[in-house]
Structures are given as C-alpha cells and as structure tokens.
Amino acid sequence: MGVIGYKIWSDLWSNKARTLQVVLIIAVGAAAIGMIVTTRTLVISGMEDIWGAVNPAMITMYTNPSVDDDIISALKGVDGVENVEGFATHSIEWRLSPDDEWSAARLIARDDYKNQHYTIATMLSVPAGRMMTEALGSALSSQLVYIYKPTGTLYWLGIITVLAILASWLPAYRATRVSVRESLAYQ
C-alpha cells in the first residue's frame, strides 16, 4: 500500500463517525433518487391505465352541417382509424315549472348510451358537476348556474395530471433535502 492508500485508510479508520455519515448520505441520496424514479414510473403508468380505461376520444370533430350515417361508416374505413362514434349536440333551454327561469343546457344524443365507445368518464362528470355546483351554491347561499363545456374536461385532466405529479414529486424532493443527521434523529 502506497502513501495515498495509507492516508485514505487512516482517515477512514480514525474518523469512523464521519465515514459512517458519508456512507449514509450516499445511501439516502441513492434511495431518494430510486424512490423518485420509481414513483414517477408508477404514477405515469397508472395515469395511462386510468386514461385508457375510460376510452378517451382521440379526436372530437364538430361539423356544420352535421354528417349522416353513411359518412360515419366511410370514416370507419380510413386507414389508421380504429372506430368512429357519431353523436348530435344541440343547445336547449329548460325549466321545471312555468314560473321558473329558463336555463341553458346542451343536449347530447347518441345511438346507444349503454354501449357507447368513448368518453365514458365525461358522462359521469356531468351529473357529478351539477351536484357539486348545487352543493356549493347551497353552502354559499346563492344560486350558481351549471354549464358543461367539453373543454372543461380537458382542463380537469390537466389539473389532475399536475396534482398527481406534485403529489409524488414534492415529498420525494423534500426527502432529498433532509440531512442524514435529521433523518437519524427522526427515528
């Protein structure tokens, strides 16, 4: 063993506490990086599974004038198109009794609601959104008007994605900022 090897061995052996602290810092750092990478992988794959489970429409196309069943059948034959599902939308006004004010709404008509192929989660978001709006209006002692817009679904998906990333990233980031001394004192 040369002079440098002897010096390294002497420093490691004579400062056992410092050596142990450095080894633990490296271990905690490596574990934190492993947790961050694993959490990111799990969150992203989980989000992909959930998004795929609701059969999202990849393209929503609105036409004016509307198309008929022959055009929808022709679109199904285009290379790269997996499926096409047609639906009609119309703006309506409604009220429960003749004394009530008219409320705006959007009517969506599909051939078969039980066997629809795309955006099942959107179907659930409409009644849930209405109930939440009514509950919030009651809590605030005011009347809130519920209006559904398809872009709201995309905004909500973006918000959920950002919250999921923050929920996994923030704790992992904070864990990397904890010193070994604080970590050992916590136990």
Residue 187 has pLDDT above 60, yes or no: no
d(CA 154, CA 114): 23
Collapsing DSSP to helix, strand or coil, 5 comes out as: helix
pLDDT above 90: percentage of residues in the chain: 1
d(CA 79, CA 66): 23
More confident residue, 74 or 47: 74
For the chain, the structural domain boundaries read: 3-53+171-186, 69-155
What's the pLDDT score for residue 116? 65
Q: For residue 85, what pLDDT band results from cuts at 50, 70 and 90?
A: confident
What's the pLDDT score for residue 117? 58
What's the pLDDT score for residue 123? 62
Q: Mind giving me the DSSP string for 11-45?
A: HHHHTHHHHHHHHHHHHHHHHHHHHHHHHHHHHHH
